[in-house]
């Protein structure tokens, strides 16, 4: 079974590809335009190329966008736009691929990373990178580490996917 894990972002999207639970590809897609729609277009086009390359993909797992409460609403909306445009591309071009969404705290719990009160974003990102280094013996940035963590969570028995 081939699975693609994604940590969608309008600036730096991490991705990975697993085949039969073996990591076969990983990377990060970056977009630098000041125009949000141009960044989204670039990210979605490059993801489409990855999915086309791995045309036997059965499932795509991505991090769910958490509603912004007292945080940066502009960023939250940008992530929702990206998720919606990417999902529409999947529907139109790859509608046989199953898609799943998982909350950040859920995928981290499934791979043994503790979240909660007092744990900062920086500590979580460092833990994600350490997880990938320990489990797969590779050095990656935090976006790629998140994508690998998201996909790795799908290999555990308890299901937190939505």
Q: Is residue 161 part of a domain?
A: no
Q: Is residue 152 over pLDDT 60? A: yes
pLDDT (0 to 100) of residue 161? 45
Q: Is residue 66 part of a domain?
A: yes
Whether 154 contacts 95, CB under 8 Å: no
H/E stretch holding 22 reads strand 22-30
pLDDT (0 to 100) of residue 26? 98
Rounded CA-CA distance 77/37 in Å is 12
Q: Is residue 92 part of a domain?
A: yes
Q: Is residue 157 over pLDDT 70? A: no
Q: Is residue 115 part of a domain?
A: yes
Q: Is residue 83 part of a domain?
A: yes
Segment 14-25, tens digit of pLDDT: 999 999 999 999
The tally of domains found in the chain comes to 1
Q: Is residue 159 part of a domain?
A: no
149 alpha-carbon distance from chain centroid: 8
CATH number at residue 119: 3.30.420.10
Phi then psi for 56, rounded to 5 degrees?
-100, 20
Q: Is residue 77 part of a domain?
A: yes
Q: Is residue 103 part of a domain?
A: yes
- Coil, helix or strand at residue 4: strand
Domain enclosing residue 64, as ranges: 2-153
Segment 97-135, tens digit of pLDDT: 999 999 999 999 999 998 888 888 899 999 999 999 999
Residues of the chain with pLDDT > 90, as a percent, come to 81
Segment 59-81, tens digit of pLDDT: 999 999 887 655 688 888 999 99
pLDDT (0 to 100) of residue 159? 47
């Amino acid at each position: 079974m081939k699975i693609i894990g994604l940590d969608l972002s309008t600036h730096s999207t991490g991705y990975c590809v697993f085949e039969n639970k073996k990591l076969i590809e990983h990377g990060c897609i970056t977009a630098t335009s000041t125009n949000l729609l141009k960044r989204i277009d670039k990210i979605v086009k490059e993801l489409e190329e990855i999915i086309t390359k791995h045309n036997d993909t059965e499932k795509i797992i991505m991090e769910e966008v958490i509603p912004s409460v007292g945080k940066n609403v502009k960023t939250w909306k940008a992530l929702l736009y990206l998720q919606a445009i990417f999902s529409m591309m999947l529907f139109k071009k790859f509608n046989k691929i199953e898609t799943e969404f998982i909350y950040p705290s859920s995928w981290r719990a499934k791979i043994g990373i503790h979240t909660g009160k007092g744990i900062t974003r920086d500590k979580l990102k460092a833990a994600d990178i350490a997880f990938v280094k320990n489990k797969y013996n590779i050095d990656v940035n935090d976006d790629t580490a998140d994508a690998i963590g998201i996909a790795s969570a799908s290999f555990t028995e308890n299901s937190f996917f939505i």
